[in-house]
Structure 1
Amino acid sequence: MLAQAVTTQNAVDPVALRRALGTFVTGVTVITTHDAEGMPRGMTANSFTSVSLDPPLLLVCVGRGAHSFAAFNASSSFAVNLLHEGQTDVSNLFASKAANKFDTISYDRVHTGSPILTDCLSWFDCTVHRRVDAGDHVVLIGEVQAFGTSPSAPLGFCRGRYANVKDPLPPGWLASHGMIVGYLIEADGHLLLRSDGKGGWVLPSAMRRIADNELKLEGGDALTLVPDDTFLYSVFDVADGDPGYLIYRARLAQDPGSAALSAGLKFFPLDQLPYDHIPTREISAMLRRYARESASKRFGIYMDSNDGGRLAMVGEAQPWASSPQS
């Protein structure tokens, strides 16, 4: 049986049409840019679509009546921040006309300068590829310059309200709790490694993420890190079937000489890392890349894939920033 038809003799009923369009389940995004004065601007949108992989294109639609429309219509770049299931408050904030949306939101500037929310499901930093006038909206087609993602569950939207998405990770995806979480902990040009008890060196690992700027390593050591300098650096599997790896880059908040470390932990100069004593080939290759990128202060995020992986460059590491204006 066909769904109930809604038509009129003269025109489409916009209220009924909105309700019908709203039955399509979407994610929720916060799109961001900066205005002519360089101030961050942002709004909630669910009109987001992947367009092309080669070149990497996506699109969002911005209503002409939106408070931030002028900024998006004039800027040469924008970012799309996909929200996770715990961010309904962020969605509501950016759906409002508040003048201080960024006061309580942490964000960074990665490639184009458009604000990237530091806590979101995925983000895409784009230059404007093309603008298309479409009725009461403008379609912004963006070319992706950098991106990042996480295994969190997405925030859904359907029939005018938020929706939960069941089982967001399909078969073949690795959930974060099934992976080894390792840390590249740097201090004064040195990197912390842990003895594997067999003459080799591995990365220190942790069972969970940082709480109150403190990282509790497996083995009992607790280190205080600089929170603004902690970010996802690499995600990959290893060939011998071990669990996959989530690798975070972090910086010690104290002088390495004053840190009380267990006997199995040692700081190595970045130009003297013991590559020949790293038992896992993938870890050794990742450490070589990290040493090179540390020297240039230009880091990337590596995501493993069947065809060799992807490296999204994110530019020089910068502290997360908060700005007083929307």
Structure 2
Amino acid sequence: MVEQAAAQDAPIDPIALRRAFGTFVTGVTVITTLDVDGTPRGMTANSFTSVSLDPPLLLVCVAKSASSYAVFKAANCFAVNILHEGQVDVSATFASKAQDKFQSVNHDRAHTGAPVLTDSLTWFDCSLHSAVDAGDHAILIGQVRAFGTSPTAPLGFCRGRYASVKDPLPTGWLASHGMIIGYLIEAGDSLLLRSDGKGGWVLPSARRRKADSQLVLDGGDALHLVPEETFLYSVFDVADSDPGYLVYRARLAGEGAASNLPADLRFFPIDDLPYDTIATHELRSMLRRYGRERLAGRFGIYMDSDDGGRIAMIDGEARAWLQASHDQGQ
């Protein structure tokens, strides 16, 4: 039954209005950012929508009563992570007042530095475009700088409870977009490359960077890595219309593993890489830098920028974070 609208001067019942708003079926997101100390902060939200494709904009509404409101209001970047049907527990965690909400989820950084939940259905890494005060909420409009998605079904929400969404994957829908996760995988003095099927070579790629010993490549092949020797190496764009790259350094685990690989994967000596058959100028440049730094035994992290990029050199051996934190506290 449709009730008649109240008279113009009659007050609106906020509880009834909330219930009416709740009949609109939405997805569930976790929005994330960093506070002034660099600590990850996040909260569950379902007031999210796309705004524009050119420029790429989205918005999310944050209640002024939320404990993280001041952090999001002051942040210059944030990420929106859309949850899939298996993440009810993640939604509940980020809706709670738990002290360390990020302890039980895999998260990484892509472009702006805002935490990205790498196991989510879809994530958008955004710089703040503008903020609008709107009653008891603030509307944060973000410009999408990077994004990624997966073919799992979304977590729905309606009438104050979670809802199942039937989500058959459309024919031709791509499993992932946005940043490509590439790997520089070493074994001895050789580097692993993958055939592009056209006579050229590219980096092996994966859906996400996971902090464990097994890496599942695009295509389903699994490689075992030495987890403590996996580090971010480079972040760069290829072209405005193409996805950018996150590149990690890694080392293959186990003797003999390099000789038992799929046909499209091949190790090349680091001092004799096939630069002439590498797919793009950007990849060639990155590999030449890697070859020089590998020879010198001193690596840097490259971050793309409008004036040609920045390289931050890393000195010293890798150390466990917990041990380094303990030593600093002494």
Which TM-score band (shorter chain)? Answer: 0.5 to 0.7
Could you state the TM-score of these two structures normalised by the residue count of structure 2?
0.66
1:49 aligns with 2:42: no
State the SS of the aligned residue for 1:62. Answer: strand
Do the aligned partners of 2:123 and 2:147 also contact (CA within 8 Å) in 1? yes
What residue in structure 2 maps to residue 136 of structure 1? 136
Describe the superposition over 1:176-221 as per-residue Cα deviations: whole angstroms up to 9, x where unpaired.
Answer: 8xxxxx985611674325799x9x7878999x99997346899x99
User: Looking at both structures, which has the greater relative contact order when contacts are Cα pairs under 8 Å and sequence separation is at least 6?
Assistant: 1
1:70 aligns with 2:104: no
What residue in structure 2 maps to residue 36 of structure 1? 36
Q: Which amino acid aligns with 2:185?
A: E
State the SS of the aligned residue for 2:259. Answer: coil
1:262 aligns with 2:260: yes
How far apart are the structure 1 equivalents of 2:254 and 2:148?
30
Do the aligned partners of 1:216 and 1:222 also contact (CA within 8 Å) in 2? yes
Structure 1 gaps, min length 5: 177-181, 234-246, 279-283, 301-312
How far apart are the structure 2 equivalents of 1:36 and 1:135?
26
What residue in structure 2 maps to residue 308 of structure 1? none
Describe the superposition over 1:204-263 as per-residue Cα deviations: whole angstroms up to 9, x where unpaired.
Answer: 999x99997346899x99644539669xx9xxxxxxxxxxxxx99775544687645138
Q: Number of aligned pairs?
A: 278
State the SS of the aligned residue for 1:143. Answer: strand
Describe the superposition over 1:101-136 as per-residue Cα deviations: whole angstroms up to 9, x where unpaired.
Answer: 122222122222211112111211212111111110
| C-alpha spacing 1:267/1:99, structure 2 compared with 1 (3 Å) | same
What residue in structure 2 maps to residue 115 of structure 1? 115
What residue in structure 2 maps to residue 94 of structure 1? 94
| C-alpha spacing 1:118/1:175, structure 2 compared with 1 (3 Å) | closer
1:151 aligns with 2:151: yes
State the SS of the aligned residue for 1:73. Answer: helix
Structure 2 gaps, min length 5: 236-244, 290-299, 313-320, 323-330
How far apart are the structure 2 equivalents of 1:165 and 1:299?
39
RMSD: 4.6
Could you state the TM-score of these two structures normalised by the residue count of structure 1?
0.67
How far apart are the structure 1 equivalents of 2:101 and 2:222?
38
How far apart are the structure 2 equivalents of 1:150 and 1:292?
30
What residue in structure 2 maps to residue 23 of structure 1? 23
| C-alpha spacing 1:143/1:214, structure 2 compared with 1 (3 Å) | closer
What residue in structure 2 maps to residue 292 of structure 1? 285
Identity %: 54
How far apart are the structure 2 equivalents of 1:211 and 1:137?
36
How far apart are the structure 1 equivalents of 2:138 and 2:149?
26
| C-alpha spacing 1:205/1:138, structure 2 compared with 1 (3 Å) | closer
